[in-house]
Structure 1
Amino acid sequence: MSDSLPTLPEEIPGSIAEKLTDQSPNVLRDIARYADEFAEHREREAQLTEWDGQDGQDEYVEAESDDFPDDVPSKATITVKDINDNRYYYWQWREGEKVKSKYKGPVGSER
């Protein structure tokens, strides 16, 4: 571990860096966790906007916290897809640059 101060990325405004210098290591770690979670939230919002613009046919349904299967992350949404005049529920989430999906069941069945 280096004794010198890390280099501030050009994208971060100096005013934010100034406020960080007054914080304890524990608070800085909390800020880092919050920033990471907030970035994921923003990415998810952007992805949902992208999905909305793809074909205008998909619908997104609010998932309840106890609905998630073990292999589906809690950030996933339930999407209604129209395929060959039938409607199906799918879990969808983002992993890096890829959008992952998992079949949930036909629309009309218990979500």
Structure 2
Amino acid sequence: MPYEPPTLPANLPTEIINTLNESSLELLRDVATYAEAFAEEKEREVRLEESADQEEIKGRPDDFPDDIPVKVTIKQISDNRYDYWQWREGDKIKSEYKCPVDPDE
């Protein structure tokens, strides 16, 4: 099978194409690694937002406005598990300690 160079995405801006064409192999690999990790983070944020929209939270804090979707996530710190409220403010995902996870649940 003969070699074929990679196909440029049609929606890639010219400035980015020019910058990539002028970049070293090492920089291109760094950009590829970062772009993949960044895309995964954006996908994660979308999943969090979708799950927050679908989940009804019992015991919602009184100081959270009704228009902010809030969910409970579990974080493991050392050997202990804790519930945290989690919500979005603009482009940021915020969290606040709620309580330790009940081991009987």
* Per-residue deviation, 1:79: 7.4
Runs of 4+ aligned structure 1 residues displaced above 3 Å come to 61-64
Distance 1:13 1:79, change over 3 A: farther
Question: Alignment RMSD, CA only?
Answer: 2.8
Gapped runs of 5+ residues in structure 1?
68-77, 81-105
**Aligned position for 1:107:** 101
Distance 1:79 1:7, change over 3 A: farther
Identity of aligned residues (%): 36
Q: Number of residue pairs matched?
A: 72
The yes-or-no answer on 1:54 pairing with 2:54 is: yes
In structure 1, give the amino acid aligned to 2:48: L
Gapped runs of 5+ residues in structure 2?
58-70, 85-99
**Aligned position for 1:12:** 12
**CA distance in 1: counterparts of 2:5 and 2:51, whole angstroms:** 41
TM-score, normalization by structure 2:
0.55
* Per-residue deviation, 1:63: 4.2
Rg larger in structure: 2
> CA deviation digits over 1:35-55, x for unaligned, max 9?
000000000000000000002
* Per-residue deviation, 1:62: 4.0
Distance 1:53 1:79, change over 3 A: farther
* Per-residue deviation, 1:107: 2.9
